[in-house]
Amino acid sequence: MTAPLSLRELDAIGVDRLQGVGEERRASLGQVEIESVFDLLTHYPRRYVDRSREAKLGEVTPGQEVMVVADVESVKSRRTRNRRSIVEVSLSDDTGSLRLVFFNQAWRSKQLKQGLTVALFGKVDLYRGQLQMTNPLVDLVGDRTGRIVAIYPQSEKAGLTTWDIGRWSTEALRRCERRGIVEPLPAELLHDLQLPNRTTAFRAIHQPNSMSEVSEARNRLVLDELLRVQLVLRLRKMRRLESASGIAHRCDSELLTSFHDRLPFELTTAQQRTISEVEVDLKTEQPMHRLLQGDVGAGKTLVALHALLLAVADGHQGALMAPTEVLADQHYLSLVELAEGLEVLDDSTLMGVRPLSIKVLTNRITGTDRQRVVEGMGNGSVDLVVGTHALIQEGIAFSSLSVVVVDEQHRFGVEQRSILRERGRPDGKWPHLLVMTATPIPRTAAMTVYGDLDVSTLDELPPGRTPIITCWVEDGDDTVWQHVRSEIAQGRQAYVVCPLIEESDKLDADSAESTKDRLSKGELSGVKVGLLHGRLSGTDKQKTMDAFREGRLDVLVATTVIEVGVDVPNATTMVILSADRFGIAQLHQLRGRVGRGAHQSTCFLVTAEEISEDAEARIRALEESTDGFALAERDLELRGEGTIFDQRQSGSNDLKLASLARDRVWVERARDLATMLVNESGSLEQHEALEDEVRWFVERRDDDAENLLRG
Ligand code: ADP
Ligand code: MG
């Protein structure tokens, strides 16, 4: 066989075929998820040591920042009287010698063994006439030569060194040389994009001759990753368009007219636009698959209800699914309020109409109440149902579900969405789907994570909101509590959000509880303070929320259970304790709980005096902007994409090299390319190698390749 090697073939060659990889090494590599030659070749260097910029020890002058490469001669470790660890290392090259000192890095004595060659970056000082570096950056170079040495992420635990990995990838590349690695993209295209072919790119990223080679190679391989994801999304969308059919709705009805006539406010332009986008979708038999994104308070609920009512007006049902009980209850209340007084046609009644029936279904609803709701869903007497994942439990069926709204979908898996779809209709038609998210997603991330959804954006807040004032204050600053008390005196309410201690409900609950006790006895004595956290029962949570909503509580001390959806316009102060522990998106969501009424609202971000630079950058971002989209972009810059979506979402874990923050241009190119490469009948048949690659990629992820690619 002389055809170039496909990725599928590379993925079928186990690493144990490489020299020096026996059973033990194979297991170690397995621990870092390197099982095949493909895995190894896509285990990319973390950085490079450019030895052309290396200084000789004999030439360095104290005070200089340099990179030197030297051999370890001896390592000593000791502790100071106050238990600080000190590791001292002597090194030399053929021109001189150097002493390293590491403070509080006891593990260095294990890492730096006599005889090792290491690259060091840092400032050189003179100490007792001897060159010395303190806490330098260290890269283990091993015995590797070459002008530029790739440094791999290594694993102490698995006992893998960067030179082991370097050696194996060198060998793997050498053995690929004869056949080459398949290049599925047309040569002109690569030429236009100024990219090397894949064989060159893999070689250059592992064994570059220059740093400019690295960046070209990186671009080629970034495009590879992004293109695979985009192709899958594109094909999935084409499949859905051709295979699924839903219900075509009429969009003019008395129900909708009277809904809009009764609203106490005018729709924003953004709401009008979004509603027409939704209507266009709902008028056709192709099931809607739309993402509705809009900042906190932008008025998404109204758009959602409009979509749901379109279903009801045509004699079908709608469902709204929320990630938590608190949110489901909140949505339920909003829908009931917005839809008050609406009637639907019903021939079985004397007047030919009956009140619109909206029900809530969560795990809190039990016994006969539950039974009644479930029956109503099954026989069609319930028009709209709001619920949590309780909606998708076994034994629940709708009479004719035709519109589904899912709120905060990043908390649900794709699977859960599709269960709701399957349960929806006995006739095999798909309900229309509207996914709402209040976490604004930067454009490139949206293209990757929600790439197969159409996107509507509410980019305008309803008028009459007074912008929230955001203040960063230090722990113990009493102005916060003075402010809370004075707002309460004027009849307003406040939230106090407690630090997230760790991923533990128990600890979070404790901290909320102790904060409540402390405040009630101290700063807020005499104030009616309530407590809300995830470990309370559903009923207790609801009681507390009701009490707060009805003004029977002045202050609600809570964990992040209030993060989304809670809507009490009379609450004007948000105090976030240990604000440095929260991410930008979360702080923005929390802040969005206030500023919902006509009164001026304030958000206090409380932290210790000293916080990390990153935390400071996040808090400054919140102080400077209230625009969720701007904050999302900032968040992407500061933290990378990993935190934006959850691992199960397509896209995130398929990207080893590409970064949605750094490679925006390539995300867009990949998307355009995918649109160009997939033909009108939704296939890649003119691009055989690419088609095979997508099939392999999808199979590897255990997705249903057959469904995606036929032929
Ligand atoms: P989101 O879910 O996008 O955060 P909501 O749908 O909860 O926002 O709306 C926030 C508040 O604004 C609600 O009290 C809602 O009734 C109100 N609202 C929605 N649309 C408008 C509008 N066009 N004009 C005035 N108020 C509106
Ligand atoms: Mg809302």
Query: Of 228-237, 417-426, 469-478, which gets the smallest average pLDDT?
Result: 417-426
The pLDDT of residue 480 is 95
User: Got the DSSP string for 670-684?
Assistant: HHHHHHHHS-TTS--
Alpha carbons 331 and 323: distance in angstroms, whole number: 11
pLDDT digits (tens, 9 = 90+) for 283-332: 999 889 898 988 878 899 999 999 999 999 999 999 999 888 878 888 99
The pLDDT of residue 198 is 95
Average pLDDT over residues 642-656: 48
Q: Which two tokens stand for residue 418?
A: 């599709």
CA distances in angstroms from 688 to 7, 49, 182, 677, 691, listed in the order given: 13, 39, 11, 11, 5
Alpha carbons 370 and 470: distance in angstroms, whole number: 43
pLDDT digits (tens, 9 = 90+) for 353-380: 899 999 999 988 899 999 999 999 999 9
CB neighbours of residue 140 within 10 Å: 21
Q: Pick the residue with more confidence: 534 or 532?
A: 532
pLDDT digits (tens, 9 = 90+) for 662-706: 788 898 899 999 999 998 888 888 888 899 999 888 887 765 555
Q: Over the chain, what is the mean pLDDT?
A: 87
In a domain? residue 4: no
User: Got the DSSP string for 511-552?
Assistant: HHHHHHHHHHHTTTTTS-EEEE-TTS-HHHHHHHHHHHHTTS
Residue of minimum CA distance from atom 26 in ligand 1: 462
User: Got the DSSP string for 433-456?
Assistant: EEEEESS---HHHHHHHSTTSEEE
The residue out of 439, 458, 477 marking a domain boundary is 458
SS3 363: coil
Residue whose tokens read 């050189």: 124
Residue 387 has pLDDT above 60, yes or no: yes
Alpha carbons 700 and 12: distance in angstroms, whole number: 11
Q: Which two tokens stand for residue 45?
A: 């260097």
CATH number, domain of 97, equals 2.40.50.140
Statement to judge: residues 516 and 427 lie in one domain: no
Residue 262 has pLDDT above 90, yes or no: yes
Residue 650 has pLDDT above 50, yes or no: no
Find the domain containing 349 and state its range.
Answer: 254-458
Nearest to 10 by CA among 199, 151, 190: 199
Phi, psi (5° rounding) for residue 181? -105, 140
In a domain? residue 19: no
Burial class (CB in 10 A: 0-12, 13-18, 19+), 59: exposed
The pLDDT of residue 510 is 65
Q: Is 301 in the pocket of ligand 1 (CB under 6 A)?
A: yes
pLDDT digits (tens, 9 = 90+) for 425-467: 667 788 999 988 877 677 777 777 667 778 898 988 888 777 8
Nearest to 140 by CA among 39, 22, 47, 42: 47
In a domain? residue 614: yes
Query: Which ligand 1 atom minimizes the distance to the CA of 592?
Result: 4
Residue 502 has pLDDT above 60, yes or no: no
Domain count, the chain: 4
Q: Is 263 in the pocket of ligand 1 (CB under 6 A)?
A: no
Alpha carbons 91 and 117: distance in angstroms, whole number: 9
Statement to judge: residues 318 and 216 lie in one domain: no
Statement to judge: residues 238 and 306 lie in one domain: no
290 and 278 Cβ atoms separated by less than 8 Å? yes
Residue 652 has pLDDT above 50, yes or no: no
In a domain? residue 441: yes
CATH number, domain of 594, equals 3.40.50.300
Query: Which ligand 1 atom minimizes the distance to the CA of 296?
Result: 4
Statement to judge: residues 621 and 635 lie in one domain: no
pTM score over 0.75: no
Q: How far is the CA of 298 from the centre of ligand 2 (A)?
A: 8
Residue of minimum CA distance from atom 15 in ligand 1: 299
Statement to judge: residues 325 and 360 lie in one domain: yes
Statement to judge: residues 214 and 309 lie in one domain: no
Secondary-structure breakdown of the chain: helix, strand, coil percentages, each rounded to the nearest 5: 40, 20, 40
Ligand 2 is an ion; its neighbours by CB within 5 Å are: 301
Probe target for ligand 1 pocket from 262, 271, 292, 302, with the most ligand atoms within 8 Å of CB: 302
| Ligand number, closest to the Cα atom of 328 | 2
Q: How far is the CA of 377 from the centre of ligand 1 (A)?
A: 27
pLDDT digits (tens, 9 = 90+) for 535-573: 888 888 889 989 999 999 999 999 877 765 577 889 999
684 and 691 Cβ atoms separated by less than 8 Å? yes
pLDDT band at 707; cut points 50, 70, 90: low
Statement to judge: residues 220 and 130 lie in one domain: no
Alpha carbons 28 and 160: distance in angstroms, whole number: 7
Residue 70, C-beta contacts closer than 8 angstroms, at least 6 positions apart: 57, 91, 92, 93, 98, 117, 118, 120
The pLDDT of residue 304 is 96
Nearest to 489 by CA among 530, 524, 531, 516: 524
Statement to judge: residues 614 and 671 lie in one domain: no
In Å, the largest CA–CA distance within the chain is 103
